[in-house]
Amino acid sequence: MSGNSKMIELGKGLAMALAMVTLSAGCFPDSSQTPPGATLQPPVAAQQPTAVVPPASAPSNPPAQAATPPAAAASQPGSAGAAAQPRTQPSSAQSARNPAALVYEQDSPSVVNITSVAVVRGFSGSSTQTPQGTGTGFIIDDQGHMVTNNHVVEDADQLVVTFKDGATMPAELVGRDPDNDLAVIRVDAAGNDDRNRPVRDKLKPVRMGDSSRVAIGEDAIAIGSPLGLQQTVTSGIVSAIRGPQDESLQGQVQLLGGAIQTDAAINPGNSGGPLFNAAGEVIGVNSAILSGTGGNIGIGFAIPVNVAKRVVPDLIQSGCYRHPIVGVTTIGLSQLGQALKRELGIPLNQRGLLVQDASGGAATSGLRGGNRAVNLGGGVQLRTGGDIITAIDGQELNDGGQLRAYIENNKRPGDRVTLTVLRGDQRLELQATLGERPNDQCR
């Protein structure tokens, strides 16, 4: 891939669709992040693609279709999953059709376009509404909740949802989680659309799949509003399953729960839309593409639906999602060159995370950070003499991404974990209580 490739956010506005928005690597104050400048191996040629979140499709006059949230049970608005409509059994003639045709026929009414609007107030007290962009969403329950990307709605003063039949309705922001790039919006399920028709008749929830069962090579079908073109369906396959610790994505895709990679055509405006399997189940939430042009080149990424099923109920209930944190800064031993390992007395085949600093529950557990600094040149220092974390709850660790992924996808703030550490020749088991990462949304 050329060195000019960028990761593009799919949901910001047509006016921005051709602009490249470069994302800096997220800085998470946990063992998942290498200290600034601490690339301890000679850096590879700087032709690495830069991460850019795909810009949402440009503003268009008709309100764009809204992103539908992971399906939540009708009787339990906070549960992401159950209120989906029963599916019609396809006839033998239908079964011979392309899976994308069947999925579109059955599930496209559950996909909406979302237009974000900024309200600009003048000196005289007057106000002007300016479309910020469009994205996609999907309906998750009969209470009017819909899921989309955080970057589709984060700068909006007002939101407008467009259904498949072209009818529109205002929506309100319910909650958002910037770290997972997820958000929930809601329309008034008891209200009428702009054509004075009951909205409740349009609330057809999607069926939520299980992203842990997704297989590389299976069908992947996207429905959304690329470049403002509502109700567009594209299909391809699942190209890869990327974990949060995937080294090939470092500095490119900042998704805490990993990503489903697909070659289904995804473009600016698809942000927040569903990625379906051939059975019509949502397996991901489209979020970003890797591109050197701003358009699709066959490398798209969706947030695994299991992440949405974990996060969305909290967004509906409290408006935010609380992320756990161990309270350590570490560096993976795999990032240390052999000469440096010899100098530090670390076995060349030793794996784990060298602790730089410990705070909160990690410090209370007895975990020790480095106590002396080694100058690596270029103003970069490595703190040595600290513990080496080799496992958490029995799960072996090779890099900080694995630690972050484990606690993010399996734990909550206040939970206790067991850290297996090496301290000199000693092997210790330390009990640590997870803290909560600072989060402006949860204040």
HSE-up of residue 213 (Cα within 13 Å, Cβ side): 7
User: How far, in Å, CA of 240 to CA of 304, rounded?
Assistant: 12
Q: How long is the chain?
A: 443
Residue in 141, 177, 181, 193 annotated catalytic: 181
Residue in 225, 271, 287, 291 annotated catalytic: 271
Pairing mode, strands 281-291 and 207-208? parallel
Helix axes 305-318, 400-410, angle to 10 degrees: 50
Could you tell me the CA-to-CA distances from 378 to 39, 45, 70 in Å, in that order?
11, 18, 47
Neighbouring CB atoms inside 10 A of 217's CB total 9
Strands (E) located in 188-299: 207-208, 219-224, 232-242, 259-262, 274-276, 281-291
User: How far, in Å, CA of 162 to CA of 222, rounded?
Assistant: 17
Query: Which of 232, 234, 290 has its CA nearest to residue 261?
Result: 290
Token couple for 175: 């909650």
User: How far, in Å, CA of 211 to CA of 222, rounded?
Assistant: 15
Chain-centre distance for alpha carbon 207: 19
Please report, to the nearest 10 degrees, the dihedral formed by the alpha carbons of residues 386, 247, 51, 437 taken in order.
Answer: -40
Query: What is the C-alpha end-to-end distance of the chain, expressed in Å?
Result: 42
Residue in 31, 151, 193, 211 annotated catalytic: 151
Identify whether 145 is a catalytic site residue: no
Identify whether 323 is a catalytic site residue: no
Identify whether 151 is a catalytic site residue: yes
Instruction: Please say whether the beta carbons of 54 and 9 come within 8 A.
Output: yes
Show which residues are catalytic: 151, 181, 271
